[in-house]
Structure 1
Amino acid sequence: MSSQRVYPHLAFVHRRARVGIGALLLLVCAACTPPPDSPTEKPAEPQATQLRDAMQKPLDSARSTQATVDADAQRQRQAIEDAGG
Structure 2
Amino acid sequence: MLVSRLGLSATRRVLPLQRQWVRRSHDATYKGQNLPFDITSPRLTAIKFFVFFSIPFAVPFIIVRYQLKKAAGHYI
TM-score by length of 2: 0.37
Structure with bigger gyration radius: 1
